[in-house]
Amino acid sequence: MSATSRSPVVLYLFSCLIGLIVMCGYWYGLGRPVVLPDAATPTHKLQCASYTPFDKDQSPFDQPFTLRPARMDADLALLATRFECIRTYSMTGLEAIPEIARRHGLKVMLGAWVNANPVDTAKEIAALIKAANEAPDVVTSVIVGNETLLRKEVTGAQLARLIGQVKAQVKQPVTYADVWEYWLQYPEVAPAVDFLTIHLLPYWEDDPTGIDDALAHVAQIRQVFGHTFAPKDIVIGETGWPSEGRQRETALPSRVNEARFIRSFVAMAEQNGWHYNLIEAFDQPWKREAEGAVGGYWGLFDADRQEKGVLAGPVSNLPYWPHWLATSGAISLLALSIAGPTAQARQALVLPLMAAFGGCCIATWGELARVNSRFVGEYIWAAALVGLNLVVLVHAALSLSERTGWRGRAFNALERRAGWWLSAAGFAAAVMMLAMVFDPRYRSFATPTLWLPALFYLFRPVRAPCREIALLASIVGIGIVPQLFREGLSNPQAWAWAAASAVMTLALWRSLRVTRTVAVTETPLLPDPERSAG
Task: In whole angstroms, give the CA distance from residue 186 to residue 79.
Answer: 34
Task: In whole angstroms, give the CA distance from residue 106 to residue 143.
Answer: 17
Its sign, for the CA torsion 381, 385, 391, 395, is: positive
Q: What angle do CA 486, 491, 495 make, to 5 degrees?
A: 85
Instruction: Identify the pLDDT of residue 527.
Output: 55
Q: Are 314 and 35 in contact (CB under 8 A)?
A: yes
Instruction: Identify the pLDDT of residue 374.
Output: 84
Beta bridge partners of 87: 50, 109
Instruction: Identify the pLDDT of residue 66.
Output: 83
pTM of the model: 0.91
Task: In whole angstroms, give the CA distance from residue 27 to residue 366.
Answer: 13
Instruction: Identify the pLDDT of residue 341.
Output: 80
Mean pLDDT by 10 residues, the chain (534 residues): 63 94 97 95 92 91 83 97 97 95 98 97 97 98 98 97 97 98 96 98 93 95 96 97 95 97 97 97 92 94 95 96 97 95 87 97 96 90 97 95 90 92 96 95 93 96 89 96 93 97 96 75 52 44
Instruction: Identify the pLDDT of residue 4.
Output: 45
Amino acid (one-letter) located at 171 = K
Q: Show the domains of the chain with their CATH numbers.
A: 3-29+319-521 (no CATH), 41-296 (3.20.20.80)
Give pairs for 399-406: CB < 8 Å, separation 24+. Answer: 399/460, 400/339, 400/342, 400/347, 400/350, 400/351, 400/354, 401/338, 401/339, 401/340, 401/342, 401/347, 401/351, 402/340, 402/341, 402/342, 402/343
Instruction: Identify the pLDDT of residue 42.
Output: 79
Instruction: Identify the pLDDT of residue 140.
Output: 98
DSSP letter at 294 equals: G
Instruction: Identify the pLDDT of residue 210.
Output: 92
